[in-house]
Amino acid sequence: MIEVSHLTKRYGAHLAVSDLSFNIEDGQIYGFLGPNGAGKSTTMNIMTGCLAASSGEVRIDGHDIFEESGAAKRLLGYLPEQPPLYMDRTPREYLTFVGRAKGLSRAQLAEQMERVMSVTQIGDVADRLIKNLSKGYRQRVGIAQALLGDPKIIILDEPTVGLDPKQIIEIRDLIKDLGREHTVILSSHILSEVQAVCQTILIISKGRLVACDTPENLERLFAGSTTVELTAEAPADEATRLLSPLAHITGLRSEPLEGGRCRVTLDTDSPDGDEVCREAFFAFSRAGKPILRMITARASLEDIFIELTSSDAPAAADGEEAQA
């Protein structure tokens, strides 16, 4: 478990991270999502002990990342946004160096190297120079070094940046596999990436936590309303007259189309819009005006992300701790 409490980081007058608090429970894949410059990498670097905080604390299974750095860091595997690879070495040579730096015995290193190379599928390129590998394979080598030492928690900062679509899919599948045996924290500014692999999403904006929940709960919590759009064989003014008396409508916009048709957009306070659709259908049916098309749309996770990271979005719980 990771406990982040009132974490703040300042660079002079610039506040990169502001009173950030959240918990990471064991056995899940977490997505740390935010726009570029939101403070994700700064937070990751503090959580892994690579950067000092201005105030606040980070505990890894109860160990303070700075006061008990040895015990805390043994529980962590970290892939920075720019993997610290030695280009003139082979993956096997590089992993041997990292394993020794982590204090693994010869027997432990031999066993773990075979395992991490198998998990990351780099065995076929283990004896080629890293500088001659594709970006996708370099990322795999970076993930392999994070796995050495059998850490309980894997932290990946922008692991798919710069990869082509095929490589992105391969790394996503690898992350899902890692999530079966490790707690994984994935930092990204790409919504689809986080949505594809993560069970819990933390959204950060301007250094503050603005949401923390499952993708499904976030959509349900922030959707709030549903928009209904319909096309009917009726003049726009008549459609407005038929729909205006209906309950749960908070906004109505109609526009004429060719052939005596119209398009109507209804804003509702209904979570799913089913009742509004039903009543609209009956209203037009009683008037003898057929509805040709009707669709509903709820706020997507992308809509929620844009709303929460806009300049005037409030911080989650006013800076109080978010329980993931």
Q: Is the domain of 202 the same as that of 237?
A: no
Rounded Cα distance, 139 and 82, in Å = 9
Q: Provide the whole-model pTM.
A: 0.74
Q: Is the domain of 117 the same as that of 253?
A: no
Q: Is the domain of 248 the same as that of 313?
A: no
Confidence of residue 299 (pLDDT cuts 50, 70, 90): low
Confidence of residue 320 (pLDDT cuts 50, 70, 90): very low
Q: DSSP letters of 216-235?
A: HHHHHHHH--EEEEEEESS-
Instruction: Check whether 56 has a pLDDT greater than 50.
Output: yes
- Of the candidates 258, 297, 304, which has an alpha carbon nearest to the alpha carbon of residue 277? 297
Whether residue 180 lies inside any domain: the answer is yes
Domain that holds residue 283: 225-298
Whether residue 144 lies inside any domain: the answer is yes
Which whole number is the average pLDDT over 68-80?
A: 94
Q: Is the domain of 294 the same as that of 308?
A: no
Confidence of residue 308 (pLDDT cuts 50, 70, 90): confident
Whether residue 220 lies inside any domain: the answer is no
Token digits of residue 297: 């749309």
The strand pair at 14-24 and 322-323 is best described as: parallel
Strand order in the sheet with 76-79: 76-79, 153-157, 183-188, 29-33, 200-205, 208-213
SS3 for 143-190, per residue?
A: HHHHHCCCCCEEEEECCCCCCCHHHHHHHHHHHHHHCCCCEEEEEECC
Q: Which residues pair with 58 in a beta bridge?
A: 4
Q: Is the domain of 253 the same as that of 156?
A: no
Rounded Cα distance, 276 and 191, in Å = 31
CATH of the domain at 170: 3.40.50.300
Widest distance between CA atoms in the chain: 83
State residue 265's pLDDT score.
95
Mean pLDDT of the chain: 89
Q: How many domains does the chain have?
A: 2
The strand pair at 226-232 and 291-298 is best described as: antiparallel
Eight-class DSSP state of 206: T
- Of the candidates 135, 134, 144, which has an alpha carbon nearest to the alpha carbon of residue 91? 144
Place of tokens 């009683």: 286
Q: Is the domain of 200 the same as that of 290?
A: no
Report the percentage of the chain scoring pLDDT > 70: 93
3-state helix, strand, coil in the chain (%, to 5): 40, 30, 35
Which whole number is the average pLDDT over 85-92?
A: 95
Q: Is the domain of 133 the same as that of 166?
A: yes
